[in-house]
Amino acid sequence: MEEGPQNVHFIGIGGSGMSGIATILLEQGYQVSGSDLMQGEATSRLKNMGAKIFFGHDRANIGHDTDMVVISTAIKENNPELIAARERGIKVVKRGEMLAELMAVKKGIAVAGAHGKTTTSAMIALVLEKNGLNPTVVVGGDINELGGNAKLGRGEFLVAEADESDGSFLLLPPLIEVITNIEDDHLDYYGSREAIKDAFQEFIDKVPPDGHVIICVDDANVREMEIKQTERVITYGIGHPADYMARNIRSEGLGTLADIYYKGDKLGQLELNVPGLHNINNAMAAIAVGRLLGLQFGAIAKSLKNFRGVHRRFQILGDVNGIFVIDDYAHHPTEVKATLRAAQQTKANRVIGVFQPHRFTRTKFLFKEFGEAFSDADVIVINEIYAAGETPIEGISADLIVNAITDREKRPVHYFRTAEEITDFLYEIAEPGDIILTLGAGNIWKVGTNLVERLKAR
């Protein structure tokens, strides 16, 4: 960014990626304003930090002294603030471009992949923070130990999610890349799996000669990537030979333990207070980054043992008389399947999966895969699609997913159109020992919070 104080306005400042960048700019001393449609935790936090927040989009929100406007791909061309900025000749940059500018003055650690980006980024950030490296952090969810989704650090590293959804991860200049997996998601942008893989290949090719690529080889699409200088590659996985491997994996309550090996040599035991095989893989990525930066396994493992998760990633909303209500952001079939399996591995009495499909386009492309994602749910509840700003598509509704699950599972699927109906249903069937898991990137979490309050009043 240019030298000296600036006035930066964010259109859609409450979004997970936008709010993180706004936080960094505020901590750097910039004047920050922004607009969003609704108040939330992020807008409240930014307001308390000194940002000027507007609710609703209006051309008057662009102050006379605004030097730059930041937008996400969710902002349409007819947005009145965007139109006003362009009419006045104000510089307009995309969120990905702004993150790239922040990373350019640090040593970037960028985490990419269809799933696991936020948790893996958060684990890496915590490992660096707890071991004195004082990183700058910009991730897509609030890290419990950091009290937010971003912080300005005095150290030389910047840990960030690399968002592939709109191709903006190709703008980043990372020194270290982590790739968790590659899947058919965001097909509304890419059009095909091959286009997605081509984008990830371009991302890998961006790593400088002194950089490294850390990849999860459990994922077949990742294994197919071409990396010209193999000495720069570090692999990890559970079900496929890798540099870092986890063995003797076992569940303990809502936690997971494993023995970690590097090139056949045992490093020690990893103990996590979050469940699931997917989190063992996420943690191995953090171990690989930490050891690459010179940290000892014992110190890394100690930091990861203290990891309490990320907001909306297997987040415990309440434990009421032995009924656990948990919320997770999972919105892709692979994420849903992994999260339900993690819940089942806790030896719960029943796992009750409550899923709100996210976006009409994702439902259109992946409804068959969603049909295969619920085998670990003892009770399946489906809500109507959360549009996320999309225009409805004729013939695309939650019925597609309900029918796909029914065809696969040969058992009842409970469909409810409203959150109130779901809450009433869950209240009636909940028993001690159950895990009730709300799943989705929309507002299904409200069902969980409302249910907890009702259960407390039983």
Q: If you write DSSP's letter for every residue of 285-305 in order, what string do you get?
A: HHHHHHHHTT--HHHHHHHHH
Active site residue 161: yes
Domain map (residue ranges) of the chain: 7-94, 106-305, 315-456
Phi, psi torsion values for 110, nearest 5 degrees: -115, 130
Query: Would you state the pLDDT for residue 229?
Result: 65
Tracing tokens 């209240």 back to the chain, one arrives at: 427
Find how far residue 311's CA is from the centre of its chain: 9
Active site residue 117: yes
Query: Would you state the pLDDT for residue 185?
Result: 66
Considering the candidates 117, 130, 151, 337, report the single residue annotated as catalytic.
117
Instruction: Determine the average pLDDT of the residues in 308-329.
Output: 88
The DSSP secondary structure of 335-379, one letter per residue, reads HHHHHHHHHHTTT-SEEEEEE--B-HHHHHHHHHHHTTS-TT-SE
Is 221's pLDDT higher than 70? yes
**CATH code assigned to 7-94:** 3.40.50.720
Query: Would you state the pLDDT for residue 25?
Result: 96
Sheet of 52-55: strand order equals 52-55, 31-36, 7-11, 68-71, 91-94
Instruction: Compute the radius of gyration of the chain from its Cα atoms.
Output: 22
- Residue 29 in tokens: 């001393």
> Considering only 32-46, 125-139, 186-200, 361-375, which range has the smallest mean pLDDT?
186-200
Instruction: Determine the average pLDDT of the residues in 48-76.
Output: 93
Instruction: Determine the average pLDDT of the residues in 2-7.
Output: 63
Query: Would you state the pLDDT for residue 4?
Result: 46
**CATH code assigned to 106-305:** 3.40.1190.10
Question: What's the CA gap between 235 and 289, in Å, rounded?
Answer: 11
Active site residue 120: no
What is the model's pTM? 0.82
User: Are 362 and 370 in contact, with CB atoms under 8 Å apart?
Assistant: no
**CATH code assigned to 315-456:** 3.90.190.20
Q: Exposed (0-12), middle (13-18) or buried (19+): which is 89, by Cβ within 10 Å?
A: exposed
| Tens digits of residue pLDDT in 194-210 | 888 889 999 999 899 99
Q: How confident is the model at residue 15 (pLDDT cuts 50, 70, 90)?
A: confident
Considering the candidates 23, 43, 66, 118, report the single residue annotated as catalytic.
118
Considering the candidates 120, 130, 151, 161, report the single residue annotated as catalytic.
161
